[in-house]
A and B are shown apart, each in its own frame.
Chain A
Amino acid sequence: MDIIVCVKKIPDPEIPPAKFKLDMESKRVIPPEGIPPVINPYDEQAVELALRLKDKYGGKITVLTIDNDADTSIVKHALAMGADEGIVLADKAFEGSDSFSTSHILSQAIQKVGNFDLVLCGRQAADWDEGLVGAIIAENLSLPLVTLAEAVDVVDGKLKVKRVTLDGYQIFAVPTPAVATVSNEVGQPRLPSGWGIISASRKQIPIWKAGDLDADPSQIGAKAVRRRLVKLFIPVREKKCEIIEGETTAEASVKLAERLRKAGVI
C-alpha cells in the first residue's frame, strides 16, 4: 500500500505556558529561545500509522511538507522513523498561504507524486489548531475522507478506518485512494532507529517549487487568503488562587472541605 503523509513543522506545543510569547504588532508568535521546532505531533502519529500499514502490507511511504525555509529536518525525522521518500515544497509564492492555499499546494504535489492508496494528514496542526487541510485535500481530489482516524486496516480490498468519536467510535469502509486525518489515539510514535537516522541523513530530499507543480497562481500565497488575521493575543486570566494552608496537609484538606461547604459548592 502506497501512502503519502503530509507533515508540518511547528513550534514545540508543549513548552511551559510562561515561555509562550508573541509580538502583537506583527501578529506573530516569537519562537521560544533554545527550544527547536518539532514535527506536528499528530503528523508524527500519521507517520506511525503509515508505518504500521507498511509493516503489515508493504508499500512505500512518501512524506510531504511545505516549508518556506526549505528546512528538511522534519522530513528527515519521518525518514529516520522508516518512511521511504521525502519532498519539501518551498517557494516565495507559497508565503502567507491560508489553509485553502496550503491544501491546493499539497493537492498538486500529491498528484505529482501519483500512485497512492492513502493520504494521511494530522487531525490539526497544533500551532493554528485549524483542522482543515486534510478535508480540503479530499474535496480537491474528490476522494473519500475519514477524519479522526485511530486505526486503518485492509479488508476485501477496501480500507477499514476506525474513527474516534467523543463517546465511542465509528468504523467506515472506503475504497482506495482515500484521505484520512489522524488523531492522537493512534498512540506513541516509534523512535527513529540508529540505522534509520544514518540512512535518512544520506537521503537526497528534492525541493519542489511552484513551477514544479501544476498550481494555480491565483490560489496560492497571501493574495489568495479567504480571511485575514486582525488580532493575536494572549488571554489574561483574572483568577487569583487562594492557597489553603495548614500545619499539616491533612489540616489544609479539612479546611478546604469546610470552605467548599461554606461557599455552597458541595
Chain B
Amino acid sequence: MSDKKEVLICGEVKGEKITTITKELMTTGRKLCIDLNQPLSLLLIGQNIQEAANEAILLGADKVYTAEGASWVESFPEHYVSIIADICNQTGPSIILFSQTDMGRDIAPRLAARLGAGVCLDCIELAIDPDTKSLLQTKPVYGGNAMAVWASTNNKPQVITMRPRTAAQAEPDTSRKGEIVPVALDVNNSMIKGKLLETLQEDVKGIRLEEAKVIITGGGGIGGKEGFQLIKELAQILGGAVGISRVPCDEGWMPAGHEIGQTGHMVSPDLYIAVGISGAPQHLAGCSGSKCIIAINKDPEAHIFKEADFGIVGYYREVLPVLIEKCRNLLA
C-alpha cells in the first residue's frame, strides 16, 4: 500500500475517449483532492485505452492506472469487482468514485462489501467535513422528496456513485503532467461463475436524451400511443428528443428506453417541455436540472407547475397543434 492516500475515479471510456460523465466525475474528484490534500487517480479498464489515459492527464488526473482487459459491455460485472478490489488493495484509496451509470450502480455496492468499505449511491454533492475530515454525502431519498446528508463513521475507504450532471465537465489543460501506470491483471477468476451471453445497445434514433438541448416529454395525460404523434412533431421542429414518464412506459405507448426519471434517463437540456405530466418527484429527479421547464397540463393544481418556469393550463390537443404551427413559422 502506498503511504499517501488518493482519490480514485473508476472511469468509463467510449470510442477510445473519456466519457462526458467521467469528465464530470473528474471535477468532483479534483475538488475533494484539494480539500484532502491528496492526489487524483483514474482507473481505466478496457482495450485501446492509451489515448484516453493521455486525455485523462490533461483533464486533471495525477495518475492513470490502465488495465488492459475486456470492456464493461463485454464482461460479467464481477470481473470488474475483482479487478478494482485488487487495485484498491494495492493502492489504498480514501475515496473511490463511480458515476451512477450501468457500471457504477452495479459494481459499487459489491465492491464496497468486498473492501469492507462504506458506500453511498446516487450522490449529488460531496464535501469534506473541515473538522472531522469525514466525507459528507448528499443524496436524494424518498424518490426525491427529501435529501439526506450522510457522514462516514470510520476511516475505511468510501465508495461513491455520483448522479450524472451534478458537476461541470473537467476541461483539458495541455500543460498538465501526470503518470500512466499500467497494472497487470492478476485476478483469480475461478470463483467467478457467471458469464455474459449477449449485450444489446439499441441504436438510438435521432438525438440521445443525455445530449439533447431540447426534450419534449409526454406523460400519462397523453392517453395513448397516437397522441405521441404531436409530441414527436414538436420535437422534430425544435430539433429535440422525445421523453416519456413512467405511465407511457408501463402502458407500452412508447419504448421504455425513453423513460426519464429516477429509474430512467437523467437529463438537463436547455428546454424541457413536460406535456400531460403530473410532476411526481421520481420523474422530476430525472429532469429538474433542465435550464427551462415548460408545463402543459389541464390541471392548474398539478405539481409540475411548482417546478416549471412557464406553464399553460389546458388540454394538450388544443395546445400542441398551435404551438407546433407557431414554432414552425418562427423558425422558418
Residues of A at the B interface (CB closer than 8 Å) are 11, 13-14, 16-18, 20, 22, 29, 99-100, 103, 123, 126-132, 134-136, 138-140, 142, 144-148, 160, 165-175, 178, 183-185, 187-188, 225-235, 237, 239, 241-244, 249-250, 252-254, 256-261, 263, 265-266
Q: Give the distance to chain A from B216, nearest Cβ to Cβ, in Å.
A: 11
* Pair B312/A252 contact, Cβ less than 8 Å: yes
Q: For the complex, what is the distance from the CA of A29 to the CA of B318, rounded to whole Å?
A: 41
Q: For the complex, what is the distance from the CA of A266 to the CA of B214, rounded to whole Å?
A: 9
Most chain B CB within a 10 A radius of its CB, from A173, A232, A237, A257: A257
* Pair A174/B305 contact, Cβ less than 8 Å: no
Closest residue on chain B to residue A257 by CB atoms: B326
* Pair A227/B118 contact, Cβ less than 8 Å: yes
Chain A CB within 8 A of B1 CB: no
* Pair B154/A166 contact, Cβ less than 8 Å: no
Q: Considering the complex, which residues of chain B in the window 44-74 have a beta carbon less than 8 Å from any beta carbon of chain A? A: 73
* Pair A231/B148 contact, Cβ less than 8 Å: yes
* Pair A257/B142 contact, Cβ less than 8 Å: no
Closest residue on chain A to residue B318 by CB atoms: A249
* Pair B265/A135 contact, Cβ less than 8 Å: no
* Pair B149/A230 contact, Cβ less than 8 Å: yes
Closest residue on chain A to residue B135 by CB atoms: A227
Q: Give the distance to chain A from B317, nearest Cβ to Cβ, in Å.
A: 10
Closest residue on chain B to residue A143 by CB atoms: B193
> Which of B76, B139, B142, B156 makes the CB contact (< 8 A) with A20?
B142
Contact (A22, B153) CB under 8 Å given A142-B191, A174-B193, A257-B327? no
Q: Give the distance to chain B from A33, nearest Cβ to Cβ, in Å.
A: 16
Which of chain A's residues have a CB closer than 8 A to the CB of B221?
none
Q: For the complex, what is the distance from the CA of A166 to the CA of B148, rounded to whole Å?
A: 25
Q: For the complex, what is the distance from the CA of A206 to the CA of B293, rounded to whole Å?
A: 51
Q: For the complex, what is the distance from the CA of A130 to the CA of B271, rounded to whole Å?
A: 30
> Which of B263, B265, B282, B308 makes the CB contact (< 8 A) with A239?
B308
> Which of B76, B147, B246, B330 makes the CB contact (< 8 A) with A257?
B330
Known interface pairs A253-B318, A266-B331; 4 further A-B residue pairs with C-beta atoms within 8 A, sorted by A's residue number: A29-B146, A171-B196, A239-B293, A265-B270
> Which of B194, B198, B308, B309 makes the CB contact (< 8 A) with A174?
B194
* Pair B263/A160 contact, Cβ less than 8 Å: no
Q: For the complex, what is the distance from the CA of A168 to the CA of B199, rounded to whole Å?
A: 8
Which of chain A's residues have a CB closer than 8 A to the CB of B180?
none
* Pair B142/A168 contact, Cβ less than 8 Å: no
Which of chain A's residues have a CB closer than 8 A to the CB of B313?
243
Most chain A CB within a 10 A radius of its CB, from B119, B146, B305: B146
Chain A CB within 8 A of B137 CB: yes
Chain A CB within 8 A of B225 CB: no
Which of chain B's residues have a CB closer than 8 A to the CB of A169?
199-200
Most chain A CB within a 10 A radius of its CB, from B141, B195, B311, B331: B141
* Pair B113/A227 contact, Cβ less than 8 Å: no
Contact (A173, B110) CB under 8 Å given A129-B142, A239-B307, A265-B270? no
Chain A CB within 8 A of B114 CB: yes
> Which of B110, B122, B151, B309 makes the CB contact (< 8 A) with A135?
B110
Residues of B at the A interface (CB closer than 8 Å) are 73, 76-78, 101-102, 105-106, 109-110, 112-114, 117-122, 136-137, 139-143, 145-154, 156, 191-202, 204, 214, 238, 246, 250, 256-257, 262-265, 270-271, 279-282, 291-295, 300, 303, 305-315, 318-320, 322-323, 326-327, 330-331
* Pair B146/A175 contact, Cβ less than 8 Å: no
Report, nearest first, the 10 A-B pairs whose CB atoms are least far apart.
A135-B109, A257-B326, A139-B113, A253-B322, A249-B314, A144-B194, A231-B149, A174-B194, A226-B118, A168-B200
Q: For the complex, what is the distance from the CA of A225 to the CA of B23, rounded to whole Å?
A: 32
Q: For the complex, what is the distance from the CA of A20 to the CA of B142, rounded to whole Å?
A: 9
Which of chain A's residues have a CB closer than 8 A to the CB of B109?
131-132, 134-136
> Which of A185, A239, A257 makes the CB contact (< 8 A) with B306?
A239
Which of chain B's residues have a CB closer than 8 A to the CB of A254?
322-323, 326
> Which of B141, B201, B271 makes the CB contact (< 8 A) with A260?
B271
Which of chain A's residues have a CB closer than 8 A to the CB of B120?
227
Q: For the complex, what is the distance from the CA of A183 to the CA of B291, rounded to whole Å?
A: 30
Which of chain B's residues have a CB closer than 8 A to the CB of A132?
109, 112, 119, 121
* Pair A168/B257 contact, Cβ less than 8 Å: yes
Q: Give the distance to chain A from B290, nearest Cβ to Cβ, in Å.
A: 11
Q: For the complex, what is the distance from the CA of A241 to the CA of B313, rounded to whole Å?
A: 12
* Pair A167/B201 contact, Cβ less than 8 Å: yes
> Which of B153, B194, B204, B323 makes the CB contact (< 8 A) with A227?
B153
Q: For the complex, what is the distance from the CA of A11 to the CA of B258, rounded to whole Å?
A: 28
What are 7 contact pairs spanning A and B, CB under 8 A? A136-B113, A139-B110, A144-B76, A230-B151, A249-B318, A253-B319, A261-B330
* Pair B310/A242 contact, Cβ less than 8 Å: yes
Contact (A166, B271) CB under 8 Å given A226-B152, A234-B145? no
* Pair B322/A250 contact, Cβ less than 8 Å: yes
> Which of B119, B246, B295 makes the CB contact (< 8 A) with A241?
B295
* Pair B143/A13 contact, Cβ less than 8 Å: yes
* Pair B148/A229 contact, Cβ less than 8 Å: yes
Q: Give the distance to chain A from B11, nearest Cβ to Cβ, in Å.
A: 17
Which of chain A's residues have a CB closer than 8 A to the CB of B149?
229-232
Which of chain B's residues have a CB closer than 8 A to the CB of A146?
194
Contact (A183, B263) CB under 8 Å given A129-B141, A166-B101, A265-B292? yes
* Pair B271/A241 contact, Cβ less than 8 Å: no
> Which of B119, B147, B280, B319 makes the CB contact (< 8 A) with A14?
B280
